[in-house]
């Protein structure tokens, strides 16, 4: 039984362990009716009387242009063996402007998606063998893997997107949610690293600017000062979720990173004008800055 309860923590290592539970508790896996790359803004949360500031995190509801048209591809599986599970994984494929670079991206993101599916199935298979050996009772479909995506921006050099992973394991009360942000350089044929875009001092700059934005924009009654400070300390794991967009660097905070689950997962944009000393002369950023 211990193997069952620890399954999701083993599944994707430290990334999952950082998340305690999901904002999408009790939400079952099913087909998506709306492509997140064109999703409508979420409703604004209520503000605290007197403060005028929202109590809950808000998503960045802006949209940016996209050079490419993306088609949603899906991998869906349902297993009803001794250990039941569901898989629902969506990933983007470029339909327009087929070139060697776009074909390479399509292959890269497909391999990433199918790799997660294979990893999940392999761990489930091992767990099922364990259950049979121990003569444990058959369980219903009580575990799942879901991956969805949002494309923020694309041009002839960059595709900026975010994957949202949701894992539900036997014994959990809620799914575990975590992000994976991707900034794919079409010319280089790879995902950009922080060192490609920022000088080493970027963590201290992100820490100061994000902390200031959060305190200015929200009533943080769901968080203590130590909680906000810990979640915005200048460490790489606190700022691993970043996307390049025309207005700046879009930062996505994980559930429980800066406040309680009731606060949600905040998103904010740090303008390029505030990052002059920590930005490397990456071509796409130079182009973005030229627009301002």
Specify the pLDDT at position 141.
Answer: 65
Q: Report H helices in 44-182.
A: 100-133
Give the pair of three-digit tokens for residue 278: 């920590």
- The model's pLDDT over 18-44, given as tens digits with 9 standing for 90+, comes to 333 333 333 333 333 334 343 333 444
pLDDT band at residue 243, thresholds of 50, 70 and 90?
very high
Altogether, the residues listed in the chain come to a count of: 292
For residue 73, what are the CA distances in angstroms to 46, 62, 113, 120, 139? 36, 24, 10, 18, 30
Specify the pLDDT at position 39.
Answer: 37
Specify the pLDDT at position 51.
Answer: 62
Specify the pLDDT at position 140.
Answer: 61
Quick one: average pLDDT of 35-59?
Answer: 54
Distance, in Å, from the CA atom of 139 to the CA atom of 141, rounded to the nearest integer, reads: 7
- The model's pLDDT over 133-189, given as tens digits with 9 standing for 90+, comes to 777 776 666 788 999 999 999 999 999 999 999 887 665 666 777 899 999 999 999
pLDDT band at residue 290, thresholds of 50, 70 and 90?
low
Distance, in Å, from the CA atom of 117 to the CA atom of 185, rounded to the nearest integer, reads: 24
Specify the pLDDT at position 59.
Answer: 79
* pLDDT more than 70, % of the chain: 76
Quick one: average pLDDT of 58-64?
Answer: 79
Distance, in Å, from the CA atom of 203 to the CA atom of 236, rounded to the nearest integer, reads: 7
Specify the pLDDT at position 28.
Answer: 36
Higher-scoring residue by pLDDT: 266, 13: 266
Spacing of C-alpha 149 from chain mean position: 8
For the CA atoms of the chain, what is the radius of gyration?
A: 20
């Amino acid at each position: 039984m211990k193997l069952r309860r620890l399954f999701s923590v083993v599944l994707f290592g430290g990334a999952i362990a950082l998340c305690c539970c999901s904002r999408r508790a009790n939400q079952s896996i099913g087909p998506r009716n709306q492509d997140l790359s064109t999703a409508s803004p979420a409703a604004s949360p209520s503000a605290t009387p007197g403060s005028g500031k929202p109590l809950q995190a808000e998503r960045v509801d802006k949209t940016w242009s996209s050079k490419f048209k993306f088609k949603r591809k899906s991998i869906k599986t349902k297993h009803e063996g001794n250990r039941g599970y569901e898989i629902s994984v969506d990933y983007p494929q470029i339909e327009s402007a087929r070139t060697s670079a776009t074909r390479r991206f399509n292959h890269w993101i497909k391999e990433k998606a199918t790799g997660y599916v294979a990893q999940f199935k392999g761990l489930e298979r091992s767990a099922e063998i364990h259950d049979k050996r121990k003569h444990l009772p058959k369980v219903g479909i009580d575990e799942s893997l879901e991956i969805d995506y949002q494309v923020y921006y694309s041009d002839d050099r960059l595709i900026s997107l975010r994957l949202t992973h949701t894992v539900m394991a036997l014994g959990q009360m809620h799914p575990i949610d975590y992000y994976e942000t991707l900034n794919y350089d079409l010319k280089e044929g790879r995902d950009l690293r922080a060192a490609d875009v920022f000088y080493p001092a970027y963590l201290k700059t992100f820490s100061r600017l994000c902390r200031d934005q959060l305190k200015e924009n929200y009533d943080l009654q769901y968080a203590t000062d130590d909680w906000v400070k810990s979640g915005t300390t200048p460490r790489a794991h606190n700022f691993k979720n970043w996307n390049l967009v025309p207005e700046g660097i879009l930062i996505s905070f994980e559930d429980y990173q800066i406040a309680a689950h009731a606060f949600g997962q905040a998103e904010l944009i740090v303008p390029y004008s505030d990052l002059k000393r920590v930005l490397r002369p990456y071509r796409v950023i130079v182009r973005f800055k030229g627009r301002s």
